[in-house]
Amino acid sequence: MKRDDTRLYGAVAAAVVLAGAGGFALSTMINRPDAPAEEAHGEEGEHAEGGGSEVKLTPQQASAAGIAVVTVSQGGAGDLRLTGRVEAAPSGRAAVASPVSGAIVQVLVAPGTNVGAGAGLAVIRSAEGAAVRAESIAAGAEAEAARAALVREERLFKAGVTARQDFEAARAAAARASAEAVAARAKVAASGGPGASGETVVRSPIAGVVTALQVAPGGFVAQGGAVAEVANPGQVEVVFNAPAEAAAKLRVGAPLRVIGPDGSEANAVIVGIAPLAQGATGAAIVRARPSGGRLTPGAAVSAAIATETGGYPTVPADAVQTVAGRSVVFIAEGDGFRAQSVTPGRSGAGYTQIVEGLQGGERIAGRGAFVLKAELSKGEAEHED
């Protein structure tokens, strides 16, 4: 077997082992010219100084390997680091309650079901609902009879057969009966529009995903009792608990960068800052609205908030790897990743300052950078053999 083929298959095997239970198919190749051993070693030394060692990897392979590409933060010395969670925005969630008391005849959805606005969630049979429907029918009939009586009285009054007060009384009775019919129809609507048998379909007021279901067929639900919860995953906010020293530096409208549990990034803007209820500690709840990316409600996230200019760029701590005794980060390029030598500074809260080697704004491998380290180290070891 050719030497290049041996190196390629060895890289694939190492990547699969590192992937763990998830597994992935990875084909990589260390980018260096075919040259005699002495010449190759000389070029490798030059790469080590300039951070030019490369691992060829397509974006699809990188994603399959669990490698997340992130943007290097600029001015990290003045950045605040917060941890928080993703929640559905107030306008993007609904707690659906039963409009009437009754027995659960049928449940139409399950947790995780995508529903549209007005979609049915459950069917309830209610004696109360049947009574409301009957009252509405009776009120409608009375209103119709009152209107007919008014027409007759008006005709007789114009013919001079009846007195004006009889006509006025008929007009008042028709108006009263019409108002009662309107009220009865409104009551039916508020009860979920039950049919003659008292069956009511409980419907979702918004489009979204059913996140919780509190009823089951054969059960009973009281009026106002919880039936289901629906959230729109496209309308989310990120909520942080900020300590006093951090809250004092924040303002509504300030931009921040949200980093998801998988290393993905999303830009967001602070839309609200409210002091915590537990005393005058200075701590606050910070709400931010993302403008891009896919954040799942309930997910734990972190955020970088620039409060000052200047300072050193910062990267996730996982992004800094040690290769051949030097600290490197892997910069994403068109056909893979290039190992860039850096000088790390202080570390904390999962981030590391870069004193030298980065300018800020570069796209680098964050979570999963160890996979690239393993590939680079393996390729260099095979080259030395």
Q: Is the pLDDT of residue 325 over 80?
A: yes
* Together in a domain, 239 and 265: yes
| ∠ CA 40-383-342, rounded to 5° | 75
Q: What is the pTM assigned to this prediction?
A: 0.55
* Together in a domain, 256 and 380: no
Boundary residue ending a domain (173, 197, 221): 197
* Together in a domain, 346 and 373: yes
Question: Does some domain include residue 40?
Answer: yes
Tell me which residue has tokens 């077997």.
1
Lowest mean pLDDT among 172-176, 189-193, 355-359, 379-383: 379-383
Q: What's the pLDDT at 349?
A: 58
Angstrom distances, CA of residue 259 to CA of 139, 277, 290, 294, 367: 59, 27, 11, 11, 11
Question: Does some domain include residue 66?
Answer: yes
In whole angstroms, give the CA distance from residue 385 to residue 383: 6
Q: Is the pLDDT of residue 305 over 60?
A: yes
Lowest mean pLDDT among 14-28, 217-231, 317-331: 14-28
Q: Is the pLDDT of residue 313 over 70?
A: yes
Summarize the confidence of residues 149-166 as an average pLDDT: 92
**Nearest CA to 182 among 148, 226, 135?**
135
Averaged pLDDT of the chain: 79
Q: What's the pLDDT at 258?
A: 84
Lowest mean pLDDT among 95-104, 106-115, 315-324: 315-324
Q: How many domains does the chain divide into?
A: 4
Q: Is the pLDDT of residue 208 over 50?
A: yes
Question: Does some domain include residue 160?
Answer: yes
Summarize the confidence of residues 153-178 as an average pLDDT: 92
CA 302 to chain centre: 14
* Together in a domain, 325 and 374: yes
Adjacency order of strands within the sheet including 93-97: 93-97, 226-231, 208-213, 114-115
* Together in a domain, 208 and 186: no
In the chain, what percentage of residues exceed pLDDT 70? Answer: 78
Give the model confidence (pLDDT) of 168-205 as tens digits: 999 999 999 999 999 999 999 999 999 989 999 999 99
Q: In which band, very low, low, confident or very high, does the pLDDT at 311 lie, cut at 50, 70 and 90?
A: low
In whole angstroms, give the CA distance from residue 199 to residue 100: 10
| ∠ CA 295-299-302, rounded to 5° | 85
Q: What's the pLDDT at 246?
A: 75
Q: What's the pLDDT at 324?
A: 83
Give the model confidence (pLDDT) of 32-75 as tens digits: 333 333 333 344 433 434 444 788 877 778 878 888 888 887 65
* Together in a domain, 120 and 176: no
Name 170's Cβ contacts closer than 8 Å, sequence gap at least 6.
146, 149, 150, 152, 153, 154
Question: Does some domain include residue 345?
Answer: yes
Give the model confidence (pLDDT) of 243-267 as tens digits: 877 777 788 888 887 887 777 777 8
Phi, psi of 215 (to 5 degrees): -125, 160
Note down the domain range covering 53.
3-70+316-352+366-384
Q: What's the pLDDT at 384?
A: 56
Which residue did the predictor score with more confidence, 326 or 308? 326
Q: Is the pLDDT of residue 11 over 60?
A: no
* Together in a domain, 119 and 215: yes
Cβ atoms within 10 Å, residue 343: 13
* Together in a domain, 183 and 147: yes
Mark 256-267 as b/e (b = at least 16 C-beta within 10 Å).
bbbbbeebbbbe
Q: What's the pLDDT at 315?
A: 83
